[in-house]
A and B are shown apart, each in its own frame.
Chain A
């Protein structure tokens, strides 16, 4: 697919989204911030009725602001509880732009997707019980690098997935979208029906493309309806379906559709839907459709999707699907101060000292019963009283559970020198610890190193199912690039620390490094590199444990442990259970 066609598709996606923001769910805009993204957003903005909300959802929005709650100033002024709308309900009837969606907090994501499903927000906070309508479309700005993605649950609900990084500025152009066209299309939308065969074809095509979620075919159908409305057709035509398939199904494909008979494979892709001002469109459509009539619609869809997928894209997509939730801290995180202060755990009576947070609702509750009495006293003293009299005794301080989440990173030596069966025991130990971890709500990650490289086998997770899947494929053998393994672990531990969580590193090795950091073989350089890598842990104060798993524990591993300032545990014949116990004991003492 040429760049011009791709850009025209991106523009069409903006139009279809503008026609039905709620129905099509939204747009996932995978793109770095830049002029191309700005151009696309400006086009979309122009296509949306200005009187309808267009709200921005900042990355670290507080729950109360997002969902709604008590309006403090209004409450104090009125002397009775006054509710305040949250951002989700303020966006009702319009569009919500989610900035940096790849770093969205999981709680924010849950509230957002719940509102998208229910079309309303349910608030049970601050003594208020409210239901507020929240029908909006979402534009998720996803600036994720290779393996950073916005949450899978959110992506699943967004109809259009666009990758704007493929465009250079000069390859794009402004495409004026007429707001009147959009308004007219919105009027027509409700009357557009989908045929039963069309539903079948879309579902069949989605299945052939390996798309599991049922939201995808549903979103594709809504996109097809929007397309029919936009191009002023009375019902959904084949062009609407193929367009929707290109925009909604193609980016989700995990399987390349089966190769068909040559005559169909050579079929040119269906023509671009011409701009709406083309009045002859209807007639053309009728004519075009006739030759296709005996060909199954789902095959036409697949051909359209195929044409839209340049080779290579699929591999990238497949790789990304597996790591969809692997979210590491991006560059932007370095400036971000950790917001994690633990989970709220009620409130206590107390003084407002530096850093403590007043729980306003509880404070008001504490003050409330005394109001008539205090008012009488105050009026007796100086004749007038403010609406609400709060005294120092009423202050209630919010308490947070300070325990931060621990993430245990296993760094496993999978080289030939570390016997293979140890690897199996290490895997077993990780699973045992994980089973224990979710009781404490901790997470586990795993890095393996062998040959010349280290890789993150299992990004931090709490899910046993995920861990099992990742660990099943761990191969062994090759050289011992200890330095690379430690560097990789340090980077992960460092990013975890920045998020306000506590990393603990467990290194399982025999300490016999023989591959240097640059991948070159040679023992002396390799050991030197490993030592410098180990020192980073000491400098950063990351707690770590080195488990010597060679049959005859030697001085090498102990030396590394010293450099790392790590606890050293020689465990020559440990099995998974012993390993797990040793790690639990070692980390508990910290």
Chain B
């Protein structure tokens, strides 16, 4: 069966392109310390705002730090934020969705009202509010993004669970007297993997965007740690003299999020049996 999906995936060029870009970015992020010997926080004030050259492939920033090194290390931050935040969001979202969908009744009603309330808030403002009370740091950002992005997934999972719950194999499992946790873990979850995977892939992209926005506003990753968002912020102050400071992180964010979206869409097309 997996070979079948594999073939369908390889035939989907856009998904393949997205996956290749992500593989490349992933390798670059993992290998950042090896790929770039330059310390991303090393300041050389005699070499401020140097345009891209052989010495500094992507130029230097306002404190003479190597932009290429900062981009690589920033990529680690962005991908880590994306993965951890989505991990948190998947765990909460799946748990809430399955519980609501499987048990129904007042449990469903209560959980879905919570989801409705969460969805009422504009997420970015909710995050800004929470971060204003906590000290901004990488962990705060990841946790807060994760904790605020699960309601959409919870709804999706609940919907899928509602339809799975009425399927024959679940009735059979119930008939055999299996416990609820066993039915959920063994019979429901494997059937939920596909929608969760697709939604998570898209979620990573939006988490990376949120992190960039927060760092741009100065509430994300704190200096001197690099992230694409805060490189972009410092670029904004030098738009008139140093285009490379804004263009490279901007393009990096664009390409990454685009690749994740292509991959997510592709996975849905490939894995959806109805297509």
Please determine whether chains A and B interact with each other in the same assembly. no
